[in-house]
Structure 1
Amino acid sequence: MVTVPYGRGAGHFIAGESNFWRSRQHETLASGSVGVAGTVLGRVTTGGKVVPHAPGASDGSQNAMGILFDDADATTEDRRVVVLARDFEADGKALTWANGITNPQKNTAIAALAALGIVVR
């Protein structure tokens, strides 16, 4: 089970979103992954599943592709999740990044998100 700090929950990081949930899409969180709402995600090239963004990886997950809407635990099996993937604004202070991410890696991820219409403020 994922423990969430007080005041955090589904969508807490959203500063603005497109009408009619156009910003959201369903994805498959790969088995072995866990994320809290606001986790920056990457997509593994082989299989197309999403995992927490891993800037040092070379499997596709080093490229930020969206932000997890709600807490999700896929420790033992794949899990269907909602991802904010386009046209919205996120509170950068409320996002969850990979442990040990450097400022240059974070800036690269923010630029990748911006190319999708995701503005990190």
Structure 2
Amino acid sequence: MNTLYVEPVHPGEFLLSEGAGKISREVIELAAGEALVAGQLLGQLSANGHFAPYKPDAEDGSETAKCILFASVGASEEVRRGRAVVRLAEVSEALLTGLDLDAEKALAAQFIIVR
């Protein structure tokens, strides 16, 4: 019997290009919660400035895509540190989680271009 294994998105695999050095990335604080995969779109919570998965129907700040999680993080009941692509990058649409037209437009305002 063959077992099928699907690899998750590797850290930064969604990046097609980014600014020189590390200008495109920042260290961020992720809200406590579920495990998140590299390429997850994130919004910034109004209440505390933490980042959480982009949710277009929310009303807590996460309804606007602000950045893209660089590397996967595990579930936690505590605030977590992570890295995100926040500006000056081209990214692969196929490797992003949570992308819709509104998120694509919001990312373009951050000079993150979806290809």
Q: Structure 1-normalised TM-score?
A: 0.87
Residue identity opposite 1:107 in structure 2: L
Aligned residues: 111
Listed one character per residue, the Cα deviations across residues 63-97 of structure 1 (whole Å, up to 9, x for unaligned) are 00000000012422111000100000000011011
Gaps of 5+ in 2: none
Q: Shift of the alpha carbon at 1:7? A: 6.1
Q: Which residue of structure 2 aligns with residue 119 of structure 1? A: 113
Q: Which residue of structure 2 aligns with residue 39 of structure 1? A: 40
Summarize the alignment of residues 7-86 of structure 1 with structure 2, pairs less than 5 Å apart. 8-86=9-87
Runs of 4+ with >6 A deviation: none
Q: Shift of the alpha carbon at 1:45? A: 0.5
Question: Does the CA contact (< 8 Å) of 1:33 and 1:51 recur in 2?
Answer: no
More helix by share: 1
Q: Which has the larger radius of gyration?
A: 2
Gaps of 5+ in 1: 99-105
d(CA) in 1 for partners of 2:9, 2:107: 22
Q: Structure 2-normalised TM-score?
A: 0.91
Q: Which residue of structure 1 aligns with residue 91 of structure 2? A: 90
Residue identity opposite 2:103 in structure 1: A
What CA RMSD, in Å, does the superposition of the two structures yield over aligned residues? Answer: 1.5
Q: Is 1:108–2:92 an aligned residue pair?
A: no
